[in-house]
Structure 1
């Protein structure tokens, strides 16, 4: 399990995973770059979902799920074929993909429930990574890079940088900040 410590005012962060510790010191401009990543990926997802919802033809994931993975040597071809041949899953994907993109995008743009939005964004990008499987240039492609952007946005608590999460966390219930009263919200906010 990872632990992140941030010393106030020093921009120092430390993490320990599996007995290995890393420590770094961020430049004061890092906050602006983290904010830029959050806004960029938020806009990309909001725009992508909005265009799917407002397109002349309704969004249909069935063809993609059925055919794309089988055509590219995907190790999860059977899973994608099952998803594409299951009517209930195709109907779920037809709603979840465009609305998920819109909600993830909105959450990131306004900085509300950023870690939750980033988790689902990374999950979507992981599925797109396998769906668009292409090893022509190695394991790293745009879908993988976007997944890492989502994970970085979550790890750096980008919702606290000019975002609503900073306000939500400090909202008081009986004189106690919300995130102190319910510490598990740190996994959703930030």
Structure 2
């Protein structure tokens, strides 16, 4: 039995050689164009590939049921924006904590947290970029300005790190990076509104 979002599919498991073939065919035929697969359950157990094309190695002989759960692109985007609000708060608090640690001369811990902050900020910017490309933002100029501001600050921060000027880095984080992050509340609120409008439209 193959179930997609609670509805039984017209396909039969026995018509396929392996799980990958089944998933590719079913997802093509069921026209899931504007949907993203969030979960695949095989015999009522969550399945995710440990290595690429692992599903190809799973024959259908032992498979009794496959359930595919999906979510709409706009719904997924709305969920991502809510996560970005949380990430923005983490970045804000982390920046202040790193600045404080550097001022206390706890360089080792500060540098460790600083690396985490850089990674999180990169992921944050990348995700905002994806949302901007997928959903035409009504205030894209403001968004571009905020992205450029963070990008320029990034370059300045990298230079300061190379010179190992931890006090200057503390100042940059607290007095420039944190205020720049505060402006992202408005950006994320705008993105949230644009996505909500798309859902209604």
* Structure index of larger Rg: 2
More helix by share: 2
**TM-score between both structures, scaled by the size of structure 1:** 0.32
